[in-house]
């Protein structure tokens, strides 16, 4: 028997679905989610199958592990090959393929739950070089910056960060500039938006006349976000709306953004499958250059070709779905990943493999 709370949630979900599917649209639409957590939630709760044939949900570059380029992986591997070094990284990065191998092949690479784990290890082992792999969007950038600030305040000389951080709004701009995916509305990321705020999407919404809704992660949240987008499209209008109002504000977390600005400066970044996007990455400022792993180890990112037959690049742009890929669920599985979209717990291929197919 359902509890009172569960019944209310079920009733709300049913009502939202009825409202969504009752809206008549002049033509089919594509709504892109730009958050790996949304991708997983949509697959887990079979939301695509609940919607009318007029509404397609497509995945964008919302998985930070997935958009990390092969060249960036190779830089991390080059650090791992240096004697007397230890790398700390979030777990999803361990098995992302480089050209020939992944970080999982190196015994000196450790999984961290927080960049402060790496700071603590560096403090305990002053004769060992300790590098943290800084991946992620605006959600994790401030905490990595705070770790560098702590290292500076404590006078650590053996700690550094390989900044592979990326910014979401410039990637959305790049996708909408070419608009190959024919994006009619954006399901904007909840976690990222807690930091950057809803105002960060206003320029995108105005320039491209595309509706934007920042959405939470429960099924009812996602369905309400879809309803708000579909309603805007039906009314032939566009604006930025916050469905996830319990966590997101218009201005975002100013303290976190100020910390980001103190530690980092904007630079171009290479996004897997998309290419170099101007002003979409963050490099460490000169004042914190002691903690810049690229400078410390003399690293440069080189361009590498994507794995043969891997469609991760097209999937990240909303131009293909995982089952379009010839190696999906064959040569590419969670245990034998060919591309990062199958490795990450937020990857589109991983989501489809786990929740939308049976093997």
DSSP string spanning 303-329? --PPPTT--HHHHHTTS--GGGSTTBT
Domain coordinates in residue numbering, the chain: 11-307, 312-355
Pairing of strands 129-134, 159-163: parallel
HEC string for 178-201: HCCCCCCEEEECHHHHHHHCHHHH
pLDDT number for residue 307: 84
pLDDT number for residue 1: 63
Q: For the chain, first and last CA: distance in Å?
A: 32
Q: Is 15 exposed, middle or buried (0-12, 13-18, 19+ CB in 10 A)?
A: middle
Helix 36-44 / helix 348-355 crossing angle, nearest 10 deg: 10
- The C-alpha atoms of residue 247 and residue 102 are separated, in whole angstroms, by 36
Alpha-carbon dihedral 163, 141, 97, 276, rounded to 10 degrees? -70
pLDDT number for residue 359: 46
Q: Which two tokens stand for residue 84?
A: 């007397």
Pairing of strands 185-188, 159-163: unpaired
| Segment-wise mean pLDDT, segments of 10 residues, the chain, 359 residues | 74 92 93 97 95 95 94 96 97 90 95 97 98 96 97 97 98 94 97 98 97 97 98 96 98 97 97 92 97 96 85 94 95 91 93 81
pLDDT number for residue 261: 97
Question: What DSSP element (H or E) covers 175?
Answer: helix 168-178
* CATH class as words, domain 11-307: alpha beta
pLDDT number for residue 358: 55
């Amino acid at each position: 028997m359902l509890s009172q709370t569960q019944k209310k949630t079920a009733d709300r979900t049913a009502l939202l679905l009825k409202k969504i599917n009752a809206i008549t649209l002049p033509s089919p639409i594509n709504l892109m989610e730009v958050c790996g957590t949304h991708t997983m939630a949509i697959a887990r709760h079979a939301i695509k199958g609940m919607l009318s044939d007029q509404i397609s949900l497509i995945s964008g570059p919302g998985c930070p592990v997935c958009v990390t380029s092969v060249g960036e992986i190779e830089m991390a591997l080059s650090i791992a090959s240096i004697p007397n070094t230890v790398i700390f990284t979030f777990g999803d990065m361990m098995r992302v393929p480089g050209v020939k191998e992944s970080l999982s092949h190196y015994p000196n690479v450790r999984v961290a739950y927080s960049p402060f784990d790496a700071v603590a290890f560096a403090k305990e082992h002053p004769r060992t070089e300790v590098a943290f792999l800084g991946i992620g969007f605006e959600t994790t950038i401030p905490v990595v910056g705070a770790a560098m600030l702590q290292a500076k305040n404590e006078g650590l000389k053996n700690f550094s960060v390989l900044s592979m951080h990326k910014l979401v709004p410039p990637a959305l701009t790049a996708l909408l500039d070419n608009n190959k995916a024919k994006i009619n509305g954006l399901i904007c990321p909840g976690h990222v938006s807690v930091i950057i705020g809803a105002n960060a999407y206003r320029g995108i919404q105005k320039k491209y006349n595309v509706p934007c809704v920042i959405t939470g992660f429960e099924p009812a949240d996602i369905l309400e976000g879809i309803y708000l987008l579909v309603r805007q499209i039906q009314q032939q209008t566009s604006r930025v709306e916050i469905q996830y109002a319990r966590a997101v504000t218009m201005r975002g977390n100013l303290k976190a953004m100020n910390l980001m600005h103190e530690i980092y400066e904007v630079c171009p970044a290479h996004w897997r499958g998309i290419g170099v996007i101007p002003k979409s990455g963050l490099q460490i400022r000169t004042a914190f250059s002691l903690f810049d792993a690229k400078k410390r180890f003399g690293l440069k990112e080189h361009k590498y070709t994507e794995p043969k037959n891997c469609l991760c690049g097209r999937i990240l742009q909303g131009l293909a779905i995982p089952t379009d890929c010839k190696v999906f669920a064959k040569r590419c599985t969670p245990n034998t990943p060919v591309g990062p979209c199958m490795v990450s717990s937020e990857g589109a291929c991983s989501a489809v493999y786990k929740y939308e197919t049976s093997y």
